[in-house]
Structure 1
């Protein structure tokens, strides 16, 4: 079970929203992590520099917190195989959904995009159904 941390969660949400807002205001781009990661892989496009900087911030900020003494305990309660299968399924969803949860859920919904609202509702419905099936139908305890 993950520890309930409402203040840290709220602060994290504010920082995610702020970074998405600043990216939109400064570069006119949406903070969809899939497109950002794809943009730093060869062949490099003309936008690769800001994408690399955005990803560096996403990696270095938690590293800086860790070096400052703030640690978050976590556990991965599934096998490596399950993580790989889940990643492949998410990749398929990103492809068919024309974007990821950050692009649709954070940025698209903030812009009141019908496509993003529909995509996010679909993500959430499948997440609820998956948890229900795993915990209550198949009775897998994690």
Structure 2
């Protein structure tokens, strides 16, 4: 089986459905006022690059990178279909995003994720890549339901 990660223009019904599932998953785990996922229109901004992950013709995951300026980017919309978690697919997408960030000359990557137990696997993944916990960045504010992480290259 071959995993294919490719740029996505967010026009396919499959990708719209996956982004909707991502939103539902976030809203099921966090209070709405603490959910900072980008809806599909937010992902269609020129400052955001989106990739879809495919296996044998099936959409299995996605990830995005938002340009923050000043050599920085924000990881957004990392999602793997629930029944496929634990196979290292998130690691593959994160590897891809990191390689793109480095190729673009970024020196810093940031992310926001949840503080609840449902987000422990995500936080462990980012920790394993050297992300450290930080305070809010950009337009984020301190929130007990959010965790902010940073990686400097």
TM range (shorter): under 0.3
Normalized per residue, the structure richer in strand is 2
Normalized per residue, the structure richer in helix is 1
**Higher RCO structure (Cα 8 Å, ≥6 apart):** 1
Q: Which has the larger radius of gyration?
A: 1
**TM-score w.r.t. structure 1 length?**
0.28
